[in-house]
Amino acid sequence: MATQKKRKKKNSPLPLATVAVFGAAALVTLIVYDHTPRSESMTVGENSAAVSELPAQTTVTTEGTAMLTTDTTTELTTTVTEATQPLPPGSVTDISLTFYSCALKVGGNRVMPIVTMTPETAPDKSEKWESSDPAVATVDGIGWITPVGAGKCTVKVTSVNNPAVFAEVVVSVTDPNAPVAASTVPIGGTAPAETAAPAESTPSGSSTTVNGRLEVKDGITYIDGIMIVNKTYSLPASYDPGALTPDADQAFAMLQKAAKIDGLTMNCVSGYRSYQAQDTLYHNYIARDGQAAADRFSARPGHSEHQTGLCLDVNYAGDAFHDTPEAKWLEENSWKYGFIIRYPKGKEDITGFKYESWHIRYVGTDYAKLIYESGLCLEEYFGIESKYAE
Ligand SMILES: [Zn+2]
């Protein structure tokens, strides 16, 4: 007697249902782990005559049993598959989030995962948010997660329309006042002396503090000393480090050394770029591709991270780099040297730029590790936007 299970539900951590078949007169037990109402189509064996007592189509919402009979010579195969026909109209069947874990700091920025409910046509897509431990992080009615105290908790969003459907974010909160764990020492080298990107040595002129730790100094935006440049935050045309900063340069040299040990060559093909060089580049792209297209892959002058002297393009700045061993290595290892993949895959709507596997940004080893482990892009990590004003 063979028993076979088939499952097509994706993202389901547990089987939809298990089926146990005992003996010739078999009792089929459905143990439903996921109580989301859905239609199930059940087929038992190839000899349908032998199982005529079992309904071919049944709606499964709770545990249940069904009796079926067969003769002793029939090989019995049981399959549970998800029905392909649509659910009753209006039911929310799935919730997905833009991230499922995040690392926050006490006193730091809040974050909000963006919720997508399926089907898109569901008339009631209202959300209910709750935190498993408000002493660690609280969540408001629309999903802003605010760090409160060191620890770990889970923030859950549930469909009001169908409370069986939910998604969760694992939230880790650290207290920056508590001692920081030693940062990873790279293979074949020592850790950079600077573990966080320093607030660049701009003379203290005009300084404004906006929104907690977001600070604007001489027209340059920082969060926790990390220079922020994207479609929302720009650099003045006069900001000109002239080259990669010594920290970024030194960190990249260490990255190159470590990659070499793994048999890979990493070259910087574009590092610092001046405001004027970006201006020329961007306008050339507009002439070639139009502004809408250019805005997806090239920054407007003042909005290019290359002007910071903290980022660089490795080997080849084009989609052909995505599938190379070097791209994979950068993805997995660049954080150890203080870099992040600045424009990750699937985050285009948040960073404002298409996936760039070759563009790495120096943020220092502490932040690189935190951001890498969070699975968030820089904008999500700091809870900021990247959108041109006009
Ligand atoms: Zn780049």
Q: Kindly list the distances between the CA atom of residue 64 and the CA atoms of 6, 219, 228, in Å, as whole numbers in the listed order.
A: 18, 66, 56
H-state helical runs in the chain:
246-261, 275-289, 291-297, 325-333, 348-351, 365-374, 378-382
Closest by CA position to 302, among listed 369, 351, 372, 231 = 231
DSSP bridge pairs for 51: none
Q: How far is the CA of 388 from the centre of ligand 1 (A)?
A: 18
Distance of CA 270 from the midpoint of ligand 1 (Å): 7
The residue among 389, 364, 41 whose CA lies nearest residue 378 is 364
Which residues lie below 8 Å from residue 59, measured CB to CB, with a gap of 6+?
37, 38, 39, 40
Cβ-based neighbour number of residue 37 at 10 Å? 15
Task: Tell me, in angstroms, the distance from the centre of ligand 1 to residue 208's CA.
Answer: 29
User: 311 CA distance to ligand 1 centroid (A)?
Assistant: 7
Whole-angstrom Cα distance, residue 125 to residue 316? 43
Global pTM value? 0.49
Helices (H), 159-290: 246-261, 275-289
| Cα of 16 from ligand 1 centre, angstroms | 45
Predicted pLDDT at 321: 97
Ligand 1 center to residue 192 CA distance, Å? 22
**What's the gap in Å between 342 CA and the centre of ligand 1?**
9
Q: Give the Å distance between the CA of 321 and the centre of ligand 1.
A: 13
Give me ligand 1 centre to Cα 156, in Å: 36
Quote the DSSP letter at residue 131.
E
pLDDT of 30: 41
Q: What distances in angstroms separate CA 123 from CA 129, 269, 278, one per listed residue?
A: 19, 50, 46
Gap between the terminal Cα atoms of the chain? 68
Cα of 41 to ligand 1 centre, how many Å?
51
> Going from the N-terminus, what domains does the chain have, and what CATH number goes with each?
17-82 (no CATH), 94-174 (2.60.40.1080), 207-382 (3.30.1380.10)
Cβ burial, residue 48 (10 Å; 0-12/13-18/19+): exposed
Geometric angle at alpha carbon 63, from 57 and 66, rounded to 5°: 50
User: From the CA of 73, how far away is ligand 1's center (Å)?
Assistant: 68
The string of DSSP codes covering 209-246 is EETTTEEEETTEEEETTEEE-SSSS---TT----SS-H
Distance 361 CA to ligand 1 centre (A): 9
Q: What is the 313 CA–ligand 1 centroid distance (Å)?
A: 5
Angle at 145 between CA 367 and CA 155, to 5 degrees: 105
- Asked if 343 contacts 356 with a C-beta cutoff of 8 angstroms, the reply is yes
Rounded distance between C-alpha atoms, residue 87 and residue 382, angstroms: 39
In tens digits, the chain (390 residues) has pLDDT values of 433 444 333 333 333 333 434 444 444 444 334 444 443 334 343 333 333 333 433 333 333 334 443 333 333 334 444 433 456 678 888 888 877 878 888 888 788 787 888 888 888 888 899 999 999 999 988 888 999 999 899 999 999 888 888 998 888 888 887 754 433 333 333 333 333 444 433 333 444 444 457 899 999 999 999 999 999 999 999 999 999 999 999 999 999 999 999 999 999 999 999 999 999 999 999 999 999 999 999 999 999 999 999 999 999 999 999 999 999 999 999 999 999 999 999 999 999 999 999 999 999 999 999 999 999 999 999 999 999 997
Distance 383 CA to ligand 1 centre (A): 22
Q: What is the 360 CA–ligand 1 centroid distance (Å)?
A: 7
* CB-based contacts of 200, cutoff 8 Å, min separation 6: 220, 227, 241, 245
Residues with CB under 5 A from ligand 1 (ion): 313, 359
Kindly report the number of other CB atoms within 10 A of residue 34's CB atom.
15
**Which residues, listed in sequence order, are joined to residue 371 by a DSSP beta bridge?**
none
Compute, in angstroms, the gap from residue 185 CA to the centroid of ligand 1. 26
**What pLDDT, on a 0 to 100 scale, did the predictor assign at position 11?**
36
**How remote is the CA of residue 92 from the centroid of ligand 1, in Å?**
40
* Structure-block tokens of residue 135: 């002493």
